[in-house]
Amino acid sequence: MEEEAKRVKFYKAQVWGQIEEKSIPSRYMKNRIILLSVDPYHLFTSWEVMEKPPFIIRVFDFTRRFFPQYNEVFSFKVESDVGNWYMNGKPSAVYLAQIGKVKEGKFILIAQSNIVQMPNGSVSTSRICMEMRKIRIEEKKILKEEKMEHAYER
């Protein structure tokens, strides 16, 4: 056993050197905006734009996507070409974000985000979920009974 341990070589200095060389870039040099759901009530957006600020970020409720127009929920002005922001949302809603500039009263789109489906904010009432919940409760009862039996055996 000791002979095997002596044959093993460690390369920790080499690994750390490789990690330091390949750090995460501060910019990717692309116009883009990303939208993420944090929980049923909050959104997160991150953007990078290759033009000079200021910009307008517009957030749309895209839940009723069969209608031709989006319902703009809110918009806000940003003074940074790279940044991020947390926003309020609604459970089960679908959102879309755009970043652009306003010139001569018209919004000029620079980038559009992905579409985000917010998680449901309540307990599921589907039969499958209810059955799974019953099974988990029964399993917990069985585990508690087994623990009690083992406690009396000692």
Q: 32-117: what fold?
A: Immunoglobulin-like (2.60.40)
Average of per-residue pLDDT across 102-119: 93
Which residues does 13 contact at the CB level (< 8 Å), separation at least 6?
A: none
In the chain, the amino acid numbered 141 is: K
Instruction: Output the pTM of the full model.
Output: 0.64
For 120-154, b where at least 16 C-beta lie within 10 A, e where not — what string? Answer: eeeeeeeeeeeeeeeeeeeeeeeeeeeeeeeeeee
Query: Residue 87 — very low, low, confident or very high, per pLDDT cuts 50/70/90?
Result: very high
Are 55 and 99 in contact, with CB atoms under 8 Å apart? yes
Q: Kindly state the tokens that stand for 81.
A: 């070409």
pLDDT tens digits along 20-77: 566 777 788 899 999 999 999 999 999 999 999 999 999 998 887 666 555 778 899 9
Taking residue 111's Cβ as centre, other Cβ atoms within 10 Å add up to: 18
Q: Tell me the sheet residues that pair with 88.
A: 42
More confident residue, 17 or 105: 105
Please report, for the chain, the start and end positions of each structural domain, with discontinuous segments joined by +.
Answer: 32-117, 123-154
